[in-house]
Amino acid sequence: MAIKGIIFDMDGTLIDSQLDFDQMRTDMNLPPNAPILETVEEYSGSRRQECEQILKRHEQRGVEQATVFPGIPALLLHAESLGLKMAIVTRNLHEFAMEMLQMLPVTFAPVIGREHGPVKPDPWALLYICQQWNIEPHEAIMAGDYRFDLEAGKHAGCTTLWFSQKRVIGASDWHGLADYTLENNFLGKQLLDEILENHRDQT
Ligand SMILES: [Mg+2]
């Protein structure tokens, strides 16, 4: 079961859009740690509209501030040189994603935003991508920086790769969902080689 593709989360993984989810919750008056999209979806009328506007305002600012995390371009070019397919699954909007992804040196296809279907941690988008790529979920890596990415990866049956960024490993109950952890983006090439080697066909 060789690895044939990587499905990436975008915000906080490849792109530093500086989205402050705690500040979003404060601005929307949501409970601490509430999943934003799911909580807003339960609201209706003007309350929901107000939250959606706040969210979009934060995301728009994110697009304007966005930078690429150091070490990411080299990692992506390495993945491309290995012949791996690459896609994006984001809880952000597709239009914002397409704008930010222009900063990266490789092409992602497909790019799935939240308007396309059930969002992570639902595995829908991951399974859809594997189907498009004509591969099995266990032949794909789901790579991301947060709980939803690893949960979606596990639900789909993918190998999970956690970009820990600046988080303290083991500090949250979901860190154990990572099959592999990348602590330093500049070590990404070696880790990718290691994962591919571990999953190489035994035939
Ligand atoms: Mg993220």
- Give me the domains of the chain, ranges plus CATH numbers: 5-17+67-198 (3.40.50.1000), 21-65 (no CATH)
Distance 146 CA to ligand 1 centre (A): 5
Around ion ligand 1, residues with a beta carbon closer than 5 Å are 9, 11-12, 145-146
- The β-bridge relationship of strands 15-16 and 67-68 is antiparallel
Distance 12 CA to ligand 1 centre (A): 4
Distance 92 CA to ligand 1 centre (A): 9
Which neighbouring-strand residues pair with 6?
A: 86, 141
What pTM does this model have?
0.94
Percent of the chain with pLDDT over 70: 99
Cis geometry, peptide bond prior to residue 121 (ω within 30 degrees of 0) = yes
Quick one: pLDDT at residue 61?
Answer: 94
Distance of CA 43 to the CA centre of its chain: 25
The string over 22-57, giving b where at least 16 C-beta atoms fall within 10 Å of a residue's C-beta and e elsewhere, is: eebbeebebeeeebbeeebeeeeeeeeeebeebbee
Per-residue pLDDT band at 59 (split at 50, 70, 90) = very high
| Average pLDDT score, the chain | 95
Distance 154 CA to ligand 1 centre (A): 16
Distance 134 CA to ligand 1 centre (A): 26
Three-state SS for 54? helix
Residues in the chain: 203
Quick one: pLDDT at residue 50?
Answer: 97
Distance 128 CA to ligand 1 centre (A): 19
pLDDT digits (tens, 9 = 90+) for 103-161: 999 999 999 999 999 999 999 999 999 999 999 999 999 999 999 999 999 999 999 99
Q: Give me the phi and psi of 99, to 5 degrees please.
A: -65, -45
Per-residue pLDDT band at 166 (split at 50, 70, 90) = confident
Average pLDDT value for residue range 161-169: 92
Helices (H) and strands (E) counted in the chain, each on its own, are 8, 8
**Is pLDDT above 80 for 203?**
no
Distance 202 CA to ligand 1 centre (A): 33
Per-residue pLDDT band at 1 (split at 50, 70, 90) = low
**Could you write out the three-class secondary structure of 72-130?**
HHHHHHHHHHCCCEEEEECCCCHHHHHHHHCCCCCCCCCEECHHHCCCCCCCHHHHHHH
Distance 122 CA to ligand 1 centre (A): 15
Distance 201 CA to ligand 1 centre (A): 31
Per-residue pLDDT band at 202 (split at 50, 70, 90) = low
Distance 160 CA to ligand 1 centre (A): 14
